[in-house]
Amino acid sequence: MKNKSEALQTVGWREWVGLPDFGVNSIKAKVDTGARTSSLHAFDIERFENGGQKMVRFTIHPEQRSKKKSQRVTAPLLDKRSVRPSSGETEMRLVVEITIELMGKRRPVEFTLTRRDAMGFRMLLGRQALRGFFVVDPGRSYLNGRRVKGTRRLKK
């Protein structure tokens, strides 16, 4: 947690976020202070053990409205939690910890894995991911830079 005297960085209500451990430079995320936990669009979810450690393998589509650039990734399984999404119906979700990169900072964030096909964003960053590091300006977007069309890099 930051010292109170240190200023928190400001992010907009939507941002491009990197997943450096997966080689993903940009995925569009909705920053949602109304959600406690962050979530990531994932499918073909497979649980397994590796050397006694519980793991999960899943597929992500970093680009919205594109299934061409799907990526199979693996992460340690932290937990299984009951989550109440915007639909109002409780569902059980697997929880993994993934390092994100936002505003030049890297930090581990807990994500629940779920299908977000019908949602406008592949990722939702909740309060726990923001706490102690970022404040949200709901009137601004992409303070972390904009994704350059046809590339996986960010333009500052």
Q: Would you give per-residue pLDDT tens digits along the chain (156 residues)?
A: 555 546 899 999 999 999 999 988 889 999 999 999 999 999 999 999 999 999 999 999 877 666 667 889 999 999 999 887 766 788 899 999 999 999 999 999 999 999 877 677 889 999 999 999 999 999 999 998 876 455 444 444
At a CB cut-off of 8 Å and minimum separation 6, what does 151 contact? none
Q: Domains of the chain: which residue ranges?
A: 9-133
The pLDDT value recorded for residue 143 is: 93
Model confidence over 59-80: pLDDT tens digits? 998 776 666 678 899 999 999 9
The pLDDT value recorded for residue 5 is: 42
The pLDDT value recorded for residue 3 is: 55
| DSSP code string of the chain | ---TTSPPEEEESEEEEEEGGGTEEEEEEEE-TT-SSEEEE-EEEEEEEETTEEEEEEEE--STT--TT-EEEEEEEEEEEEE--TTS--EEEEEEEEEEEETTEEEEEEEEEE--TTSS-SEEE-HHHHTTTEEEETT---TT-EEPTTSSSEE-
Confirm if 122 and 26 have CB atoms less than 8 A apart. no
The pLDDT value recorded for residue 84 is: 77
The pLDDT value recorded for residue 153 is: 47
> 9-133 sits in which CATH class?
mainly beta
β partners of residue 23: none
Burial class (CB in 10 A: 0-12, 13-18, 19+), 50: exposed
